[in-house]
Amino acid sequence: MKTTEKVALVTGANRGIGYETARQLGQQGITVVVGARTVKAASDTVARLKAEGIKAVPVKLEVTDANDRIAVARTIEEQFGKLDILINNAGVGAVGGMFNSKTIETTEEELQSVLATNLFAVIAVTRALLPLLKKSDAGRIVNVSSILGSLTLHADPNSPIASIKTFSYDVSKTALNAFTIHLAAELKDTKIKVNSAHPGWVKTELGTDQAPMEISDGAKTSVTLALLGPDGSSGRFVHMDEELPW
């Protein structure tokens, strides 16, 4: 039986931007399905959210694991009958960190690993959950990308990211943006909206303490896109309501 409450799945929701995104959605009265790599991580996160009065459900979701993806879709179907919001937040950084610029020296193993999580798993998770999103009155898909996926800015020697060229991570986010554009076009005649979010440079394990933004601000773009009204745009690349170049 389809519930009337809004339900959101956030992948990688046990820490950092993912946790804060789940928290902010929960503060809006949305039931949050917390996806994490282990049952313990998901359950511990749900306990923290429930302590704040947020309705949350834990699920084991290693996004690269097909069995986990199938099980999560089944759990959401059985408990809620639909999914309103999918936040594809889980992701990994490049070997050596974000500022270890390299291109031709990037190993095949690194490319396979980063793309497996940041691109192929996002596509697979979305494919598994799309039937449930189509049952929503207003489905929303948010792909957590990065400004480092912008080809336009990377090609501009005067852009703020010109010197940060870590190929494996950057190309994974460029390809993720392509997925956003293609899926938004495919779903244009439905009530589902698909957008890419750039959280900003945030103080997380990936962003390091050098980042200027707090985690609470890093979640805001994803939350805004998740809560878009019927007149909201689809197929956009956004940071804090500002459109970014692809």
Catalytic residue annotation: 169
**Number of other CB atoms surrounding residue 151 within 10 Å:** 14
Alpha helices (H) along the chain: 16-27, 39-50, 66-79, 108-115, 121-133, 151-154, 167-186, 215-218, 220-226
The one-letter amino acid code at 36 reads: A
Burial class (CB in 10 A: 0-12, 13-18, 19+), 205: exposed
The torsion angles phi and psi of 41, rounded to 5 degrees, stand at -60, -40
Using DSSP's 3-state secondary structure scheme, residue 72 falls into: helix
**Structure tokens given for 60:** 């084991």
**How far, in Å, CA of 169 to CA of 167, rounded?**
6
